[in-house]
Amino acid sequence: MSDSNQGKLIVFSAPSGSGKTTIVRHLLKQEDLNLEFSISATSRAPRENEVDGKDYYFMDLKEFKNHIKNDDFLEWEEVYKDNFYGTLNAEVERIWAMGKHVVFDIDVVGGLDIKRIYPDRTLAVFVEPPSIEELKIRLKKRKTESEDRIAMRVAKASIEMATAPQFDHIIVNENLDKALEEAHQLVKQFIN
């Protein structure tokens, strides 16, 4: 991808339920940051209320694997069996062409991949829940997943928490207002 313009990459990664999506949505509303959301591609089916091209670029497994073969992804991974997520190079190019910085709400592996590919242009932030116990409570409150899925996410969270030190910053999301303010300051310093 072209390195000509000065667009930056802001990565927010976290275990499911730690609040990264809330933080990213808040930052997108801050005009001083000039951010645009990177829409991920996925091979999973849309959930209720999800819109193609807004929440995700939905594609079937075959299409996703073709993009992998053609090297169209900045990063991708198989998160669960036959359940792929990735960032299309074209998506980053689209945002940089608008003169904006790219913000990602992305899982840990993808986040660290982006940091590895663009070490100087990427701010990688890990959002940590106050505890695994609190994470479990938050996931249950959502009422979107079965007990099995919650157990799977909690198990995955423990593994993901171990990667936190590889990120540039860790925000512990105990108090949301504080976490939002901390995230805003970090991004502001990084892009200026």
pTM: 0.88
Does the residue 4 lie in any domain?
A: no
Does the residue 3 lie in any domain?
A: no
Predicted confidence (pLDDT) at residue 8 exceeds the cutoff of 90: yes
The predicted-structure confidence for 100-131, as pLDDT tens digits, reads as follows: 999 999 989 999 999 999 999 999 999 998 88
Predicted confidence (pLDDT) at residue 5 exceeds the cutoff of 60: no
Q: What's the number of domains the chain is made of?
A: 1
Predicted confidence (pLDDT) at residue 1 exceeds the cutoff of 80: no
CATH of the domain at 154: 3.40.50.300
Does the residue 2 lie in any domain?
A: no
The 3-state secondary structure of the chain, one letter per residue: CCCCCCCCEEEEECCCCCCHHHHHHHHHCCHHHCEEECCEEECCCCCCCCCECCCEEECCHHHHHHHHHCCCEEEEEEEECCEEEEEEHHHHHHHHHCCCEEEEECCHHHHHHHHHHCCCCEEEEEEECCCHHHHHHHHHHHCCCCHHHHHHHHHHHHHHHCCHHHCCEEEECCCHHHHHHHHHHHHHHHHC
Does the residue 109 lie in any domain?
A: yes
Output the pLDDT for position 81. 86
Distances (CA, A) of 59 to 72, 73, 127: 14, 14, 28
**Closest to 32 measured CA to CA, from 92, 91, 97, 100:** 100
At residue 31, φ and ψ (nearest 5 deg) are: -60, -30
In the predicted model, what is the mean pLDDT of residues 10-18?
91
